[in-house]
Amino acid sequence: MTSLKLDSHPRSLTRLVVPILVVALALVVPATASAAAFTAHLKAPNHTPTANKPWPITVTATRGRNKLSGSVRYEFLYDGSVVSHQPGHSFKGGVYHDTLKFPNEAAGYPLTLRVIVTTKYGTVDLDRAVKTRV
């Protein structure tokens, strides 16, 4: 077993710590960079869906000029806490269309619709503030 011997001089410690930090940062940066490896957008007609009426949305996912395939699912948040998980579906060609219906019970409450888009390049959350009206 080889033991590492450090001089009491501060430069010896710096020579040891700096390369370790550089390697550690190199391992962390790709993980965070891959989290946003594609672009997703949410289009909806407004921020005020009417209860029990169709509210169409469109989600697009691209990486540069490439249209991606993936899947979509939903979370609904009230005051920052998830109050509902809803399944979505898979999509191809970079575009996903769906029609949502908000229940009467949601009327008047400020909610956040979170569309979770997953592709082979990672996951992106698209948040939209909504307030259902009657």
CA 83, distance to chain mean position in Å, is: 18
Higher pLDDT, 123 or 28: 123
| Assigned domain for 17 exists | no
The pLDDT of residue 62:
97
| Assigned domain for 21 exists | no
Residue 44: CB atoms within 10 A of its CB come to 18
| Assigned domain for 99 exists | yes
| Assigned domain for 114 exists | yes
| Domain that includes residue 115, residue range | 39-131
| Assigned domain for 78 exists | yes
Whether the full predicted model's pTM is greater than 0.85, yes or no, is no
In this predicted structure, the answer to whether residue 66 has a pLDDT above a threshold of 80 is yes
In this predicted structure, the answer to whether residue 4 has a pLDDT above a threshold of 80 is no
| Assigned domain for 34 exists | no
Q: Quote the number of domains for the chain.
A: 1
CATH number at residue 79: 2.60.40.1930
Per-residue pLDDT of 32-55, as tens digits, reads 444 559 999 999 999 999 999 999
